[in-house]
Structure 1
Amino acid sequence: MPALAQSPALTRSAGALYLVIILCGLTAELALRGPLLHGTPQEIAAAMAAHLPHLRLSLLADVIMLLADIALALVFFSLLRDRAPALARAALVFRLGQAVLIGASLMALASAPALLDDAPRMAVHMTEMHALGYDIGLILFGVNSLLMARLLALGDTPRIIALGIAAAGLVYLTGSLLRLTAPSLSATFEPAYLVCILAESALCLWLLITGRI
């Protein structure tokens, strides 16, 4: 096996990138943007207009998360390609596919501030388009998570973490499909995303602390 695939430094860099993704994703969605997107379209437009710096900072956090996610996809492929080449390639494709969709959805969100004065309802619609693109991206990420769980199970990662990543993949798939097909049920499913936060945080810490995968 090539030395690159065994590098603790490279493995820890995967953990560091994962940490950036978790922190930026949660900050953008929960702390900066999420509080603005509740209520009627008029209330949402007014909240965005009153807190434009928060909206723009959420965009910056999402861009950083996106760049880290692309880098992590490549690092994981380097680490895992000799373990199961076909699975590693598939995981890379699905994670990069998610990145493409999230990047496209960010373009919709970035257009919202310019629309607030003349077309506030369209500005709100752009936030809805962003959420839709994100949800479709998470379907691809759900598949990636299932593939990653299998790849992790073939190596040094504890079985409970690999199972957690598999569970997270199922949560992402179920949650996004519910938002697309049965949005009335989506809110009741939201607590399940705690599984994703716990599982991915555990993997992040394992990579950072042990340098093994």
Structure 2
Amino acid sequence: MKTISLSNVAIIAGFGLLLMVLTVPFAEFYIFPKLISENSENTANNIVTNKMLFTVSIFLHFITLICDIIVAWALYVFLKPVQQSISLLTAWFRIIYTAMYLVALVNLIKILTIINHSENTEFVNFSDNVAFYISSFKLEWSFGLMIFGIYLFLLGYLVYKAIYIPKIFGILLIIAGLGYLVHTLGAFLFPEINLDFLFFTFFGELVFMVWLLVKGRNISTNSSS
């Protein structure tokens, strides 16, 4: 059975990350702002009126979940030559994060359920339920980002140790992981503190994605960083 090459899994990981860049931001920064407002009744009315658009946002998140699993596998294979046990542990952290992400996404699916059975329900109760599930989705997904932060930290360590990847990407990924951890923990433990300045640290994985797509086809374990 032919073993898949490092260059092939690098390209697979890169395209998986690229697809995620195109899905979640579209749902979070384009669709949700059109539907979700501070007023729960307005939000419920927007979702009912634009049910198809809301459904599209759910499937965009679902595509991201699939990509997360593919990227976890691809980067495990890609970094296995560095240290197999740590690479496997790192992949498991992304899989666990993906499972938590799926649990959070179920909240949005429940909104579709109550929309389909809302004919005999008072609108006030309906809008309160919608607000509750949207809040649950955001909170549960945010909590999962702590696991994702640990994943990025471990990924950064492996990338830094790899002789076939420039060490700068390992440093950027470690910084990104710490950024996710501090930002998420701060939101839960110290919500009064504004940590939005950490946003710039989140680009480590995106920079790594570009490198995988541009240089991935030329990678081998004999490459030098």
TM-score after normalising by structure 1: 0.89
Once residues 45 and 85 of structure 1 are traced to their aligned partners in structure 2, the CA distance between those partners, rounded to angstroms, is 48
Q: How far does residue 139 in structure 1 lie from its aligned partner after superposition? A: 0.7
* 1:202 alignment partner in structure 2: 207
Moved more, 130-139 or 60-69: 130-139
Once residues 195 and 36 of structure 2 are traced to their aligned partners in structure 1, the CA distance between those partners, rounded to angstroms, is 19
Shift of the 9–67 alpha-carbon distance from structure 1 to 2, 3 Å rule, reads same
Once residues 108 and 8 of structure 2 are traced to their aligned partners in structure 1, the CA distance between those partners, rounded to angstroms, is 36
Provide the alpha-carbon RMSD of the alignment.
2.0
The structure whose residues are more often helix, as a share, is: 1
Once residues 212 and 158 of structure 2 are traced to their aligned partners in structure 1, the CA distance between those partners, rounded to angstroms, is 14
Structure 2: tracts of 5 or more residues without a match: 221-225
Matched, 1:25 2:30: no
Once residues 30 and 167 of structure 2 are traced to their aligned partners in structure 1, the CA distance between those partners, rounded to angstroms, is 32
Q: How far does residue 181 in structure 1 lie from its aligned partner after superposition? A: 2.2
Match of 1:135 among 137, 142, 153: 142
Moved more, 46-55 or 88-97: 46-55
Matches within 5 A, 1:140-179: 140-155=147-162, 156-179=164-187
Once residues 42 and 207 of structure 1 are traced to their aligned partners in structure 2, the CA distance between those partners, rounded to angstroms, is 45
Does the CA contact (< 8 Å) of 1:112 and 1:124 recur in 2?
no
Structure 2 residue identity aligned to 1:85: Q
Structure 2 residue identity aligned to 1:176: T
Structure 2 residue identity aligned to 1:189: L
Once residues 32 and 44 of structure 2 are traced to their aligned partners in structure 1, the CA distance between those partners, rounded to angstroms, is 12
Once residues 3 and 161 of structure 2 are traced to their aligned partners in structure 1, the CA distance between those partners, rounded to angstroms, is 18
Q: How far does residue 193 in structure 1 lie from its aligned partner after superposition? A: 2.4
Moved more, 30-39 or 126-135: 30-39
Match of 1:193 among 185, 188, 199: 199
Q: Percent identity?
A: 19
TM-score after normalising by structure 2: 0.84
SS in structure 1 of the partner of residue 165 of structure 2: coil
Q: How far does residue 199 in structure 1 lie from its aligned partner after superposition? A: 1.7
Structure 1: tracts of 5 or more residues without a match: none
Does the CA contact (< 8 Å) of 1:108 and 1:130 recur in 2?
yes
